Amino acid sequence: MLLSKSSRLAGHPPASQLHRHIRHQSALVTKQETIDAQLDFRTFIDVLRKDGDLAEITREVDPHLEVGAIVRRVSETNAKAPLFQKVKGAKDGLFRIFGNAASLRSSERERYGRIARNIGLEPGASWKDILVRTQEAKTREAMKPNIVADGPCKQNKMFGEDIDLHKLPAPMLHADDGGKYLQTYGVHFLRSPDGTWTNCSIFRGMIHDSRRLVCLVGTGQHNAIIREKWIQAGKTEMPWALALGVPPSLNLAAALPIPEGVTEAEYIGAQVGKPLDMVKCELSDLEVPASSEIVLEGTASLVDKAYEGPFEDFLGLHFDNDMHMHPLFRVDAITYRDDAILPVSVPGRITDESHTTCAMASEELLTFVKAKGFPILDANAPLEMMGTWCALKVDTAALTASKTTSKEFCEALGQIVFRNKSSMLTNRILLFGPDVDIYSLRDILWALATRCRPAQDEYVFEDVPSFPLTPYMCHGGGSVRNGGKVIMDCLFPMEYRGEKTFHSVDFETSYPRDVQERVLQNWEGDGLGV
């Protein structure tokens, strides 16, 4: 959340002090390391260490709930990213555990620093800097991966009957989860039958038995689309790989609503300006990042399913016996680095990497609506709303020129946006004029409370695809698969006519500049604070 000048005066150190602290803290990280960290998981961890943003826990930690409890509390307190060096039950290099790869930092100035390090930015990057970075590949030519003969992920191998997932120190992340989740922050690799599209995506996976995971595959997701292509081809299974501890930039790309048909590995090559080093799998023609920490290979069944869950997820509510049938994935090979590291995500209430990556979809939505010709200046999904709200800043001059009405504009916008993958998680779109800071939740709620009349300025969409994991969809009334979406118009009717006869009432708006300056100069001397 952006701070007003008055809030910066109240209890926050001067910017000069913050900048001095940051220069000292990040001085050990070279420009090359900043670039390399987005392409290599271990370099990323090294950079966090040099940033002072890594907690290396050397005592033995139990993967049964203790790891999950620590990672969860890190998310709720914005503490350092934990690296568990000694996990109870680890054997033969499988494995250490790392958490909170894309969570927030406690420093106000470096709040988004850990996320920035995922994509080659400096730790002082703003949230908007990060959002813009995720779209840079759109204007560049896709860059195919560099296929190498070998890589660190091949240092150790096991196959077939030597594999027993129950013997791994897989974490039980929440007390009421339905099982141990080996996969919460790895990247699945699936390829279309014709070989033209390789999809990278993140979806959770619970250990089902000694050789199989049951994974949540959501309707409408790209992985589900590829799955359907294999079914239409008459197959009963498809090649599959799961890479854990991949290049951080690829992890974020796999979580974003990149357009259908785009191969994330090529997208990241374009974004970074350097091809990803990838290596062929042991059992299929799929390729995975050569520097991956752990790689599971096998097949995804197109027939067999089992109960998945419950799993306490990022919307922060647990429902008893919340289990559903989902596909089974058989593990036929495991390759891994020496002293491998398993990345985990322990979702819940704000703020963890589920929320940050979900919120990044707002920039994809912005790119989409601009391409469709809507007069939208900016977009932001407040982290506090877990990616389910998106605030749009409207170009009111262009809106006026279009001679439209609130009803016409909102209905046209909703019918297009809510059918696009960029808004899959978005249940509420809020429209604001240029005077509202859409990066401030305080501003958003103030404008919503004062400008959007219930019912009259709300446009509900029940004929569009839903986000079924939303608790009020899957545990409320009505259809689970459709609807539950709304546009809340926080523009006054006069703004559609090009008029503006109102302004905010606050310190910076309601007083002349010379009066403001005199008040600020005497603030501390008057005993009102620093």
Annotated binding site for Mn(2+): 199, 222, 264
User: Prior bond to 351 cis, omega within 30?
Assistant: yes
DSSP state, residue 64: B
For the residues of 319-381, what is the DSSP string, one character each?
A: -TT--EEEEEEEEEEEEE-TT-EEEE----SS-SHHHHHHHTHHHHHHHHHHHTT--EEEEE-
Q: Determine the 3-state secondary structure of 265 from DSSP.
A: helix
Rounded to whole angstroms, how far apart are CA atoms 174 and 66? 9
The answer to whether the CB of 406 falls within 8 A of the CB of 454 is: no
- Pairing state between β 485-489 and 428-432: parallel
Q: Is the dihedral of CA 386, 411, 127, 5 positive or negative?
A: negative
Q: Is the peptide bond before 492 cis (omega within 30 degrees of 0)?
A: no
User: How far is residue 296's CA from residue 168's CA, in Å, rounded to a whole number?
Assistant: 13
Distance between CA 14 and CA 109 in Å, rounded? Answer: 11
Q: Which helix (H) or strand (E) covers residue 486, if one does?
A: strand 485-489
Taking the mean position of all CA atoms in its chain, how far away is CA 111?
Answer: 15
**Selection from 422, 427, 444 nearest residue 435 by Cα:** 444
- Secondary structure of 157-197 in HEC code, one letter for each residue: EEEHHHCCHHHCCCCECCCCCCCCEEECCCEEEEECCCCCC
Distances (CA, A) of 529 to 14, 15, 17, 48: 13, 16, 17, 35
- Residues belonging to the binding site are 199, 221-222, 264, 421
**Which two tokens mark 167?**
């013997």
Cα atoms in the 13 Å half-sphere on the side-chain side of 231: 12
Strands 294-308 and 146-148, by their bridges, are unpaired
Residues flagged as binding site for prenylated FMN:
221-222, 264, 421
**Please, are residues 462 and 483 in contact by the beta-carbon 8 Å criterion?**
yes
H-run or E-run covering 331: strand 324-336
CB 194 within 8 A of CB 226: no
Count of Cβ atoms closer than 10 Å to residue 3 Cβ: 13
Who contacts 390 (Cβ-Cβ below 8 Å, separation ≥6)? 361, 362, 365, 379, 380, 381, 423, 426, 428, 429, 430
| Cα distance between residue 311 and residue 325, in whole Å | 13
The single-letter DSSP state of residue 79 is -
82 in Cβ contact with 55 (< 8 Å) = yes
335 contacts 157 by C-beta, under 8 angstroms: yes
